[in-house]
Amino acid sequence: MNPSLSTTDSTVANVIEQVEPVPQVTIVLPTYNEAGNINKLIRRTLTALNSYPGDIELMVVDDDSPDGTWQLAAAAAKVDSRVRLIHRRDERGLTSALNRGIREAQGQWVGWMDCDMSMPPEDWPHLIEALNNGADVAIGSRYVSGGSDVAHTFTGRLFSRVINIWAGLMLGWSIKDYTSGFVLARKSVFDELTLQGDYGEYCIDLLYRAKQAGCTIVEVPYVCVPRMAGESKTAQNAWGYLKRGVNYVKTLFHLRFGLNS
């Protein structure tokens, strides 16, 4: 072997590694019709994580939003290499978008949040701190000391409380906000766990199965605030909450008793 060639190859490899660092954290943003929020969300998330010593990947997974969300994300990606767009034309749904983001994430830690600005991106460093301190999963929680929900109507808050109390009764009180949706976890957690469910029940399923697998789960308080722009994708009235609640109930019974309903 030519020693000079070996040295050159090593130098080139080192340069490539420096030019294309592997991110420590990937934040997945699942979007559909969030044109009024996406630029602010990207900017605030990058600003919040700007002082983090590791590299950051911000992955927008958009379900072909007709309002132009994906075009705005594509423009942001051209300006900042930390932003990445996955434009899905033939797939739909929150859970499948999150699974796609988790699969393609380059970061050793993967997180996600709602894209309506109800979950302040400025709280990401607190979830990162929890993982730095040894947690496997950190969740933003409305129901631990320091957290609250000022975003939803009385009906919405009541529905969330009832579901979480029921989840506590059936699955254990070690987790207070089973329906958080504001999550950061080690990517290795998803080697064995794939998100399941149609909407918010995926979080109940994930947290319970992660707990059963021996993962350390830490809740970090946050204040859920009203969406900044666009239309809410949660239920808008008592009937809507009841219809959605059927899937939550099915999930709880399945996890607790191994039943499908």
CATH assignment at residue 52? 3.90.550.10
Asked whether residue 162 carries a pLDDT value surpassing 60, the answer given is: yes
Q: Tell me if 76 is assigned to some domain.
A: yes
pLDDT value of residue 106: 95
To the nearest whole percent, how much of the chain has pLDDT over 90?
71
Two tokens, residue 109: 């830690």
Give the count of domains, the chain.
Answer: 1
Asked whether residue 154 carries a pLDDT value surpassing 90, the answer given is: no
Answer whether 109's CB lies under 8 Å from 24's CB.
yes
pLDDT value of residue 44: 97
Q: Could you give the CA distance from residue 63 to residue 96 in angstroms, rounded to a whole number?
A: 10
Q: Could you give the CA distance from residue 112 to residue 127 in angstroms, rounded to a whole number?
A: 11
125-141 mean pLDDT: 97
The alpha-helical segments, DSSP class H, found in the chain are: 3-19, 38-48, 69-79, 94-104, 124-132, 154-171, 201-212, 238-257
Q: Tell me if 70 is assigned to some domain.
A: yes
Two tokens, residue 69: 């969300």
Q: Is pLDDT larger for residue 127 or for residue 21? A: 127
Asked whether residue 21 carries a pLDDT value surpassing 70, the answer given is: no
Q: Which residues pair with 83 in a beta bridge?
A: 58
pLDDT value of residue 5: 38
92-113 mean pLDDT: 96
Two tokens, residue 259: 């039943």
Number of alpha helices (DSSP H) and beta strands (DSSP E) in the chain: 8, 9
| Closest among 159, 157, 180, 176 to 168, alpha carbons compared | 176
pLDDT value of residue 159: 87
Answer whether 100's CB lies under 8 Å from 91's CB.
yes
Q: Is pLDDT larger for residue 30 or for residue 227? A: 30
Q: Torsion over CA of 83, 56, 15 and 78, rounded to 10 degrees?
A: 10
Q: Is the dihedral of CA 98, 65, 243, 118 positive or negative?
A: positive
pLDDT value of residue 205: 96
Q: Tell me if 3 is assigned to some domain.
A: no
Q: Tell me if 200 is assigned to some domain.
A: yes
Two tokens, residue 116: 């309506």
Asked whether residue 107 carries a pLDDT value surpassing 90, the answer given is: yes
Element (H, E) at 217: strand 217-221
Owning domain of residue 217: 22-153+177-229
Two tokens, residue 140: 């933003």
Asked whether residue 4 carries a pLDDT value surpassing 80, the answer given is: no
Q: Tell me if 170 is assigned to some domain.
A: no
Asked whether residue 15 carries a pLDDT value surpassing 70, the answer given is: no
pLDDT tens sequence across 33-58: 999 999 999 999 999 998 776 799 99
To the nearest whole percent, how much of the chain has pLDDT over 70?
83
| Closest among 209, 204, 54 to 128, alpha carbons compared | 54
Q: Tell me if 47 is assigned to some domain.
A: yes
**Of all residues in the chain, what percent are helix, strand and coil, respectively (each to 5)?**
45, 15, 40
DSSP structure class, residue 123: G
